[in-house]
Structure 1
Amino acid sequence: MLPPTTTPPFTFQDGCLLLVDKPKGWTSFDVVNKVRWAIRKHLGVKKIKVGHAGTLDPMATGMLNICTGKWTKRLQELQGMDKTYTGTITLGATTASYDAEEPINATFPTEHITEEMIRAAAESLTGDLEQLPPIFSAIKVDGQPLYKKARRGEMVEVKARPVTVHEFNITRIELPEVDFIISCSKGTYIRSLAYDMGKALNSGGYLTALRRTTVGPFEEKDMWNLEALLKVIPEKEA
């Protein structure tokens, strides 16, 4: 049975599950560090276990599941859940990271692309897939994240991984932008779906916005704004 989401009064050492809305530009590690620091100040302790279940890229916003204390043992369970994302793919170009974190490295025509083609491409990227993760990812090879090797210019062979895309719905088309809602299994890279959609359209594609709205049964409405959460974790009284 999953731990329930937690509201005050918090029992950080016994275990809490906090659903935090990760701000754009923050790494997942940044958010965990900020929450850990606030909890340590609140409890007046030097150490407490705090971890997250499933990294979000700095560009992305949305649900970051943070566990504290004894519930950090549940992180693997949370990581394995299906997730839902909304976002925007920009067609007609590619980047090395498959998103807007890296500069455009190639441009392609988009004049031939129709709504029917876009919806057919989304359908072709639905179901059980063998997906190639981006070279700029946190996947470890020889003990090092791929993105570190990529930034050093090292050539690394990336192996395809099985993932499942349950739904890939197109919600807005205003070329070159395409908005979507995607429901998928753990380990799915939405950046790779953006890149693959570009290829399927005989063009290019990269991710320009991403928000995680659900993880398993946990919903967007239950998320904490990070600043609001920090305000309800007061410092320990002297």
Structure 2
Amino acid sequence: MSKRKQRREDFDFAAGEVLLIDKPYEWTSFDVVNKVRYAVKVKKVGHAGTLDPLATGLLILCTGKMTKQIQYIQAEEKEYVGQMVIGETRPSVDMETEVDSTTDYSHITEEDVRKLLPEFTGLIQQIPPAHSAVKVGGKRAYNAAREGKEIKIDPREVEIKELEILHIDFPTIDFRMVCSKGTYVRSFVRDFGEKLGVGAYMSGLRRTRIGEHKLTDAYALDKFIEMIKQEQ
């Protein structure tokens, strides 16, 4: 999809389109799919890689025959900018749940943060968060987590190709990451906080790129829906 397409008549949703959408905060990826499906009036609409409700940014939707491309888009590397807060933990490792532990972080320095980056760059073993959509025994992990049940999730190998600190204003750390399919940024934040010895949770996340598809080329969801409805 290109921003050159400014009218509904420029699209052929039944034949197939790849749509770049800026997912709003607190929307699930399926909420966006359903909203777009209703607007474009095509049944065959799917997303190429989910985003957590509390994350924003690039969500790629495919319609019609372009849904065959979903598996290929999903396999491409992802880029995120995120923010973590150190010295506190939350069960979900994001803002979904309340703080459950607090640790003094006053001894942590910027050097302590930056010297950990090599440990989290390259091929690493990572355990997905309990509050995630990963399946354990055929069931979504987050269902068990929200019921307070303990579950065992096996580690998986992922690749963090690029990792940089953008800004530090303790207890907040802003970062940028380029990673492979299957990487959980919340797991990175959780593990990073543990390595610092003070814990951490993710206070914000925005996906900025999937492969060659960039957030700067995406439509705000409300603007896209408005454009489509105006042409009906």
Shorter-chain-normalised TM-score: which range?
Answer: over 0.9
List aligned pairs for 1:51-66, cutoff 5 A: 51-66=46-61
Verify the 8 A CA contact 1:38 1:235 in the aligned structure 2.
no
Task: Return the alpha-carbon distance in structure 2 between the equivalents of residues 36 and 220 of structure 1.
Answer: 21
Regions of 4+ moved over 2 Å: 4-8, 234-237
Query: In structure 2, how many angstroms separate the alpha carbons of the residues matched to 1:127 and 1:114?
Result: 24
Q: Give a deviation string over 1:115-142, Cα, whole Å, max 9, x none.
A: 1110112221111000011000001122
Amino acid aligned to 1:25:
E
Matched, 1:141 2:142: no
Structure 2 residue 13 is matched with structure 1 residue 18: no
Alignment-derived partner of residue 152 in structure 2? 157
1:72 alignment partner, one of 67, 72, 75: 67
Give 1:44's aligned residue.
none
Structure 1 vs Structure 2 CA RMSD = 1.4
What residue in structure 2 maps to residue 212 of structure 1? 207
- Give me the whole-angstrom Cα distance separating, in 2, the residues matched to 1:94 and 1:156: 19
Contact 2:136–2:153 (CA under 8 A) maintained in structure 1: no
State the aligned residue count: 228
What is the DSSP-based 3-state SS (H/G/I as helix, E as strand, rest coil) of the residue aligned with 1:14? coil
What is the identity, as a one-letter code, of the residue corresponding to 1:134? Answer: P
SS of equivalent to 1:200: helix
Counterpart CA distance in 2 for 1:136 and 1:5 is: 35
Identity rate, percent: 44
Distance in structure 2 (CA, Å) of the matches to 1:200 and 1:141: 26
TM-score for both structures, normalised by structure 2: 0.94
TM-score by length of 1: 0.92
TM-aligned CA deviation for residue 153 of structure 1: 1.9
Measured in 1, the distance between the counterparts of 2:209 and 2:43 equals: 27
Gaps (5+ residues) in structure 1?
41-46
**Aligned equivalents of 1:90 and 1:132: distance in 2?**
20
**Which amino acid counterpart does residue 29 of structure 2 have in structure 1?**
S
Pair 1:83-2:78 in alignment: yes
In 2, distance between residues paired with 1:127 and 1:165?
5
Compare 27-36 and 143-152 and name the one that shifted more: 143-152
The match for 1:37 is 38
Q: Which runs of 5+ in 2 are unaligned?
A: none
Deviation at 1:236, TM superposition (A): 7.5
State the alpha-carbon separation in 2 of the partners of residues 102 and 121 from structure 1: 27
Q: Separation in 2 of the partners of 1:122 and 1:27?
A: 30
